[in-house]
């Protein structure tokens, strides 16, 4: 119940209308007895600093940050967690002396989701589709978690090359290679773990997949799509049709929310709650 002691959290981004985060956060708050309310706040371009300052002045407990502000928000923080700094993207703000401290819970969330799904990246070459903000973060996460290397494929080849170069500089050795989307035949081996980090196939463009060629999917052992709406993307269908295992991004979404909630409240969320939220996310399709 909302009362004089209720603390406020929220999501800032543009747009925010399709977010699932209020569902996740308010459900956890209710079930775990935390007196907090979580709301979406669309922030107009140019107003990010005012929004962060306003949230601070209004004694918000914390914020999530989404597209297009995950990098831009860094300029408005009092502190930044080393992992978020390395990734170059912040999706969670937590109050600290003098302002907010920025964290990235997307990548620890993805790592926990992959572990829960029984997908291990350590020691193997991983194929990443996409070279946007999330794909770049995934490459850094895989470097930190002991993958052998990454093959980054993107529609715009130059962007893949830029991400690979940056990640290789971070690694201090040759870890990432860049390709155009059609160049997957150059990738050696088979039995690939593929992380689908493009927005191709996301609702309402559910007929799209970044690659259509069945010859690609014949070499995929695990197709891990970061999209959660629809629950089964065309990429996942094509993977399954060729005999591969396929996962969606709903668990990642749930775990990034859980980690943010844990940072704000200091309480630890159970695996049972994670599963309950996952079922909610799967049912909640547009």
* Nearest-angstrom CA–CA distance, 234 and 49: 38
At its nearest, how many Å lie between ligand NAP and the CB of residue 197?
A: 5
Give the nearer residue to ligand NAP in terms of CB position, either 72 or 208: 208
40 sits in the region (left: phi over 0; alpha: psi -120 to 50; else beta) called: beta
Looking at residue 43, the DSSP 8-state letter turns out to be -
Cβ–Cβ under 8 Å, residues 181 and 129: yes
Residue nearest to ligand NAP (CB): 132
Q: What number of H helices and E strands is found in the chain? A: 10, 12
Burial class (CB in 10 A: 0-12, 13-18, 19+), 282: middle
- Chain centre to alpha carbon of residue 69: 14
Give the nearer residue to ligand NAP in terms of CB position, either 77 or 195: 195
Q: Facing residues of 222 across strands? A: 193, 245
Give the nearer residue to ligand NAP in terms of CB position, either 34 or 198: 198
* Nearest-angstrom CA–CA distance, 113 and 104: 15
Residues that bind ligand NAP (CB under 6 A): 67, 106, 130-135, 154-156, 159, 197-200, 202, 208, 210, 226-228, 249, 252-253, 256
Residue 230 tokens, joined: 């629809």
* Nearest-angstrom CA–CA distance, 123 and 270: 29
Residues with a catalytic annotation lie at: 70
At its nearest, how many Å lie between ligand NAP and the CB of residue 189?
A: 23
- Chain centre to alpha carbon of residue 271: 19
């Amino acid at each position: 119940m909302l009362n004089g002691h209720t603390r406020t959290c929220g999501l800032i981004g543009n747009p925010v209308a399709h977010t699932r985060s209020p569902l996740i956060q308010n459900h956890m708050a209710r079930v775990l007895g935390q007196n907090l309310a979580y709301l979406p706040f669309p922030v107009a371009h140019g107003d990010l600093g005012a929004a962060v300052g306003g949230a601070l002045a209004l004694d918000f407990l914390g914020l999530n940050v989404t597209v297009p502000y995950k990098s831009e928000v860094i300029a408005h923080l009092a502190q930044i967690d080393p992992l978020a700094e390395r990734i170059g993207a912040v999706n969670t703000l937590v109050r600290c002396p003098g302002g907010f401290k920025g964290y990235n819970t997307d990548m620890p969330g993805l790592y926990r989701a992959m572990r829960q799904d029984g997908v291990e990246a350590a020691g193997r070459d991983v194929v990443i589709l996409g070279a946007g903000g999330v794909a770049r973060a995934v490459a850094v996460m895989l470097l930190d978690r002991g993958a052998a290397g990454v093959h980054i494929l993107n529609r715009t080849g130059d962007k893949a090359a830029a991400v690979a170069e940056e990640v290789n500089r971070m690694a201090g050795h040759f870890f990432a290679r860049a390709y155009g989307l059609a160049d997957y035949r150059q990738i050696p081996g088979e039995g690939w773990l593929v992380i689908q980090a493009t927005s191709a196939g996301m609702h309402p463009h559910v007929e799209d997949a970044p690659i259509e060629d069945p010859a690609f999917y014949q070499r995929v052992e695990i197709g891990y799509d970061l999209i959660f709406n629809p629950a089964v993307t065309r990429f996942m269908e094509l993977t399954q049709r060729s005999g591969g295992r396929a996962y969606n991004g709903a668990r990642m979404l749930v775990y990034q929310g859980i980690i943010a909630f844990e940072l704000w409240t200091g309480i630890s969320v159970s695996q049972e709650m994670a599963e309950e939220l996952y079922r909610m996310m799967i049912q909640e399709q547009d």
